[in-house]
């Protein structure tokens, strides 16, 4: 496993290549102008998972070379810690996967909304305009203004 961080202009590029079950290699992405939080990135979490899996296998080999049985190995503090790290990373990966699914679903819904023909939208807007040509408030205001004009005209006619 190796990680390479390079600065090209104003872009940071992270290249990561490591073995992941089911995939031969992963390659990183280009991160632009925003703060980048690796703990929320699937690639970084996969790299962490691979790292801790390697650490666990190395620790198990060392304990087996010492001639310890499975019960003693399971009670080893460092083995417990490493397994806890792997569980924590696995739970974060499920959360990241759910988040990606939600983003994809929202993109699909947005695409469906954009696919609606404009004619249907304009018909609906035209119907609303016909139904509410003049609101009640505007009608009351117009009546009030008409009454004021009539009073003014009657005063002028008398005076």
The pLDDT tens digits for 21-44 are 444 444 444 444 445 566 778 888
Any domain includes 73: yes
Task: Tell me whether residue 139 is in a domain.
Answer: no
Q: Look at residue 142 and tell me if it is in a domain.
A: no
Q: Look at residues 81, 89, 21, 86 and name the one whose alpha carbon lies nearest to residue 53.
A: 86
Is 121 inside a domain boundary? no
Inside any domain, residue 59: yes
Higher confidence at residue 119 or residue 137? Answer: 137
Q: So what's the pLDDT on residue 77? A: 96
Domain count, the chain: 1
Domain assignment of residue 135, yes or no: no
Asked whether the whole model's pTM tops 0.85, one would answer no
The verdict on residue 49 lying in a domain is yes
93 within domain boundaries: yes
Domain that holds residue 60: 35-115
- Segment 101-126 shows an average pLDDT of 82
């Amino acid at each position: 496993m190796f990680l390479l961080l390079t600065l090209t202009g104003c872009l940071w590029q992270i290249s990561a290549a490591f073995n992941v079950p089911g995939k031969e290699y992963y390659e990183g992405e280009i991160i632009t102008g925003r703060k980048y939080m690796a703990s929320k990135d699937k690639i970084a979490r996969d790299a962490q998972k691979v790292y801790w899996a390697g650490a666990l296998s190395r620790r198990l080999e060392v304990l087996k070379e010492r001639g310890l049985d499975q019960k003693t190995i399971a009670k080893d503090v460092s083995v417990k810690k490493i397994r806890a790290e792997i569980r924590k990373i696995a739970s974060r990966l499920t959360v990241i996967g759910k988040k990606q699914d939600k983003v994809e679903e929202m993109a699909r819904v947005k695409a469906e909304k954009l696919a609606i023909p404009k004619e249907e939208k304009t018909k609906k807007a035209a119907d609303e305009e016909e139904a509410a040509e003049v609101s009640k408030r505007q009608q009351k205001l117009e009546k009030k203004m008409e009454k004021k004009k009539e009073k003014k005209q009657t005063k002028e006619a008398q005076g």
